[in-house]
Chain A
Amino acid sequence: MTLPDAQGRFGRFGGRFVPETLMAPLQELERAYRAARRDPEWARRLAGLLADYAGRPTPLYFARRLTEHCGGARIYLKREDLCHTGAHKINNVLGQALLAARMKKGRVIAETGAGQHGVATATAAALLGLECEVYMGAEDVERQALNVYRMRLLGARVTAVEAGSRTLKDAINEALRDWVTHVRTTYYLLGSALGPHPYPLMVRDFHAVIGRETRRQARTTLGRLPDVLVACVGGGSNAIGLFHPFIGDRRVRLIGVEPGGEGIATGRHGASMTAGRIGVLHGCMSYLLQNDDGQIATAHSISAGLDYPGVGPEHAYYRDAGRFEFVSITDEEAVEGFQALTRQEGIMPALESAHAVAHAMRLAKTLPRSKAIVVGLSGRGDKDVHVVAKALGQEVR
């Protein structure tokens, strides 16, 4: 069985819940994507950029000191933080930007939370000579000022979105409104494994290189597949990329780590798998944080990239199927994970990835040394230094 089906469904999840204006363009996008995948010249160009521009393959690194620090299972890091622009986001962006160019769209738009997807999109737009506009929640513009300036240096226009919760959810709303308005000339370069079909499919496919490399590298390094994969989940793009090539390997546990914010009990979190209900937002059916009246709740997380009240539809499907497990890590635990990896390995993770690190550390302590855990280290932490400082009660001048 291949998922999604022809309607873009992963079981009951996914689909295409959008205004009519976008329906034909989404169908056109799906056709263009499938045609591009069949075109060997296009595939060669993407593979070339992933290797020579993005820096793939990224290493699978054995975190020896962190492993000893935890005193249990061995912890390996899939180093997406070493990709060009500092996060896994570039994998998907290069694929979609090449698709935009192939579709003769001269303008790309994107939403961004932490700014990593926005920076990656601005980067690819500079590389391919495309006009670029990035929508970013006003609160995220404030807490990720460095990434905002990076995007501007790259030639992108950054538009702060003041509506609603002023975070990623509202940035997606505004990007969708822009797309509805300029759909004939503009390519919407969506950065999470969500949205209307075919986005969850495309984003997954472009990130699945993470999991494919991990399989190959684990065979070489470990002589077998790892026992557990752990990745953070906001919309779920790096997690689905890491997990997807392992779905058929029933003995490999696949664990998504959601942002627990200030704790699930406080209501101030972003754990839609743990505390959400099924609903429709941004074009797809999935688990959502919402009130009884179907109004979307505001997510809370120390990490802007996980600050989203929903999750990709394929994650929802595999959760209900019992294949993916979901846990949550609080802001405080994420900061501890950040500090531990920084001090033990000299690797500063993005606060998003620090959620996965924190859970891997917790899990490693319960498992014997013979077990191997791979952490999807989705991004590097330079952008979060001031946020961490604030969380530790210090100030960076």
Chain B
Amino acid sequence: MKDPGTKSRLAATFADLRARGERALVAYLTAGDPSLGATERLVREAAARGADIVELGVPFSDPIADGPVIQRAAMRALERGISVARVLETVATLRAETAVPFVLLTYYNPVLAFGLKAFARTAADAGVDGVIVADLPPEEAGPFAAEAEAAGLDLVHLVAPTSTPARVRLIARRSRGFIYVVSLTGVTGERRELPRDLEAQITALRRVTTKPVCVGFGIGHPDQVAAVGRLADGVIVGSAIVRLIEERAGSPSLVKDVGDFIAALKEPLREAGLGDLPQTPPARRRPR
């Protein structure tokens, strides 16, 4: 378990990136696709080529928030017998050699089956920094949030285009590590265009929080990454990476191809000219 007095690895990462004028690339991989050994190699490559945070998907049999690409990856991983315990062992192995923050993306049932306290402690001990539970809104998150906090694990909440202002405030208050902005109404997967109201969505969120904001769903091309990088602290790319892994799974160049793609995604997030992000919400107006 981490000493609660020290700054979390996620917080340190966002602070460092802000200081350098960069934005975070959050690279998603489904753990165990095409194998856990490959996941280890892919994570090392991703971290070396520009992923600032690695998001590892814990495969689940009924991933209702995921589109076809990540559904297929989860099914492949499950067919190989990937379990929560084995994903956490993989993180522990990687943690011995890399300082990149790890965030797990899972659904609630595997966490429940593992045990809330056992999951939070084992994950924290393995070197996991944050957890995103796709079907656990703040109203239902109480018991797991308490265990996560006790273990020093950041429980990241998601905000959606349909979230009401009251919900946006609730989520901003409860989320730890960063806030995950779901860019669109829909499941994960690449889209041709970014949603038009994304900027307004992020602006509304910034008004109520100073926590880092990362945007995911539907972002898979470096141009889209560049556009979102002007608005957010981090950009999450999942399906586009997972699709590339699916296409190149049998190829000797798998790791290098994925690494090249991650480098291309990170490139626009290093550039000067991204502009400053608001550091604090606008001060409350006081009568003069």
Contact = CB atoms under 8 A, between A and B. Distances in A.
Contact of A21 (B85, B112, B113, B160): B160
Interface in A279-305: 279-283, 288, 290, 292-296
Interface in B68-118: 71, 75, 78, 83-85, 107-114
A294 B187 contact: no
User: On chain B, which size bracket covers the interface?
Assistant: 35 or more
B139 interface: yes
A155 to B, nearest CB: 26
B65 interface: yes
B185 A294 contact: no
Contacts, number: 119
Contacts of B109: 279-281, 288, 290, 294, 296
Interface in A318-373: none
B93 to A, nearest CB: 19
Interface residues of A, number: 39
Tell me which of A23, A277, A292, A293 has the highest count of chain B C-beta atoms within 10 A of its own C-beta.
Answer: A293
Interface in A229-275: none
B158 interface: yes
Nearest to B106: A294
Interface stretch (B12-20, B46-54, B130-138, B145-153): B130-138
B163 A294 contact: no
Nearest to B71: A163
Contacts of B78: 295
Nearest to A9: B140
A293 B83 contact: yes
8 contacts: A19-B160, A20-B171, A170-B62, A177-B65, A288-B109, A292-B113, A293-B84, A295-B78
Contacts of B139: 7, 16, 23
B186 interface: yes
B228 to A, nearest CB: 18
Contact of A279 (B112, B136, B159, B167): B112
Contacts of B75: 163-164
Given A173-B62, A288-B109, 11 more contacts: A17-B137, A20-B163, A21-B185, A24-B160, A164-B62, A176-B64, A180-B185, A184-B162, A278-B112, A279-B112, A294-B111
Interface in A177-201: 177, 180-184
Contacts of A183: 162, 185
A18 interface: yes
A21 B161 CA distance: 7
A107 interface: no
Interface string B34-71: 00000000000000000000000000111111010001
Interface of B: 60-65, 67, 71, 75, 78, 83-85, 107-114, 134-137, 139-140, 157-164, 167, 171, 182, 185-187
A19 B110 contact: no
A15 interface: yes
Given A7-B139, A24-B163, A17 B186 contact: no
Contacts of B163: 20, 23-24
Contacts of A27: 164
B62 A18 contact: no
A16 B113 contact: no
A24 B84 contact: no
B140 A293 contact: no
A30 to B, nearest CB: 13
A292 B109 CA distance: 11
A60 B83 CA distance: 51
A16 B112 contact: no
A49 to B, nearest CB: 31
